[in-house]
Amino acid sequence: MADVRPNARPRPEPTEGARVIFLGPPGAGKGTQAGRLAGHLRIPKISTGDMLREAIAAGTALGRIAGPLMEKGGLVPDDLLDRIIGERLRMKDAQNGYILDGFPRTLRQAEGFEGMTRGDATEQFFVFNVEVPRPELLKRLSGRRWCPHCQSTYHVDNNPPKDDSLCDKDRTLLIQREDDKETAVARRLAEYDERTAPLIDYYRGRSRFHTVDGYRPPDAVFAELKGIVGGKAAS
Ligand code: AMP
């Protein structure tokens, strides 16, 4: 709603009810950018990876199935993703837009999602395909550290915590996620190439699709994304 107080400074209104999908390999910076864009647009970021890690921490039936698959870098079965996304999208806060981080990841998921969101035309979705060269992805993933309490991520060189290896937010000891270790990373990248990369062609022709260079400082990437969702730029 516009602020109608007499002395209020006009604020640029971001795209109403934006629905955004982030595609790109692990380590491309999707989670960081999705979080920033969600704050900018004031809509929720929905990360299936975070939801699955929460299920593991809570010891639910879903978490018990997902845990061993995720540790090895494999994908969790499509029908489980359909279920958690279906439930999440029905929540009140997702009725006026959302940012998806890590979903869909297979053609089956994309088709299922399309059925689920029939009311929200896919042509209106922003789809960002974030590209980063493979050696840089490996560097980012191997240096990544994670807070098991609040799920914040850090990087030993690019974004170290202020205090040695403790989370800035809650001072939990940071760890390296099992799926950021070398063998799991190789498997995640192979899963991306085989099962997620085909979504680039799927969405290219049916959405507001943009390829974004993710091999830049996060602020530069974010500035471009903001320009696009504000309707000012296109690629
Ligand atoms: P992320 O945090 O997005 O890198 O996800 C971590 C892990 O969660 C992935 O490697 C998969 O094992 C699992 N996962 C997250 N999202 C999906 C999805 N859409 N489909 C299948 N598995 C997923």
Q: Specify the ligand 1 atom closest to the Cα of 74.
A: 12
Write the burial class of residue 143 (CB in 10 Å: 0-12 exposed, 13-18 middle, 19+ buried): middle
pLDDT for residue 193 is more than 60 = yes
What is the Å distance from ligand 1's center to 137 Cα? 16
Q: Cα(87)–Cα(162) distance, rounded to whole angstroms? A: 37
Q: Tens digits of per-residue pLDDT, 114-159?
A: 988 876 778 889 999 999 999 999 999 999 999 999 989 999 998 9
Half-sphere exposure (Cβ direction) of 159: Cα atoms closer than 13 Å: 17
The pLDDT score that the predictor gives to residue 120 is 72
Q: Specify the ligand 1 atom closest to the Cα of 77.
A: 21
Name 4's Cβ contacts closer than 8 Å, sequence gap at least 6.
none
The pLDDT score that the predictor gives to residue 32 is 93
> Would you give the distance in Å from CA 1 to the centre of its chain?
27
Question: In the β-sheet with 208-213, what is the strand arrangement from edge to edge?
Answer: 45-47, 98-101, 19-23, 126-131, 208-213
Residue nearest atom 15 of ligand 1, based on CA coordinates:
49
Write the burial class of residue 121 (CB in 10 Å: 0-12 exposed, 13-18 middle, 19+ buried): exposed
pLDDT for residue 55 is more than 70 = yes
180 lines ligand 1 (CB under 6 A): no
pLDDT for residue 216 is more than 90 = yes
**Do 202 and 113 touch, CB atoms closer than 8 A?**
no
The pLDDT score that the predictor gives to residue 163 is 92
Please tell me the least confidently modeled range out of 10-24, 25-39, 72-86, 199-213. Answer: 10-24
The pLDDT score that the predictor gives to residue 122 is 80
Which is nearest to 24 in space by CA: 227, 225, 176, 232? 225
What is the Å distance from ligand 1's center to 143 Cα? 19
pLDDT for residue 81 is more than 50 = yes
Residue nearest atom 14 of ligand 1, based on CA coordinates:
49
What is the Å distance from ligand 1's center to 5 Cα? 45
Q: Which pTM value belongs to this model?
A: 0.88
**Do 30 and 104 touch, CB atoms closer than 8 A?**
no
The residue annotated as part of the active site, out of 45, 145, 188, 208, is: 188
What is the Å distance from ligand 1's center to 51 Cα? 9
Residue from 22, 45, 46, 48 to probe ligand 1 pocket by mutation (most atoms less than 8 Å from CB): 48
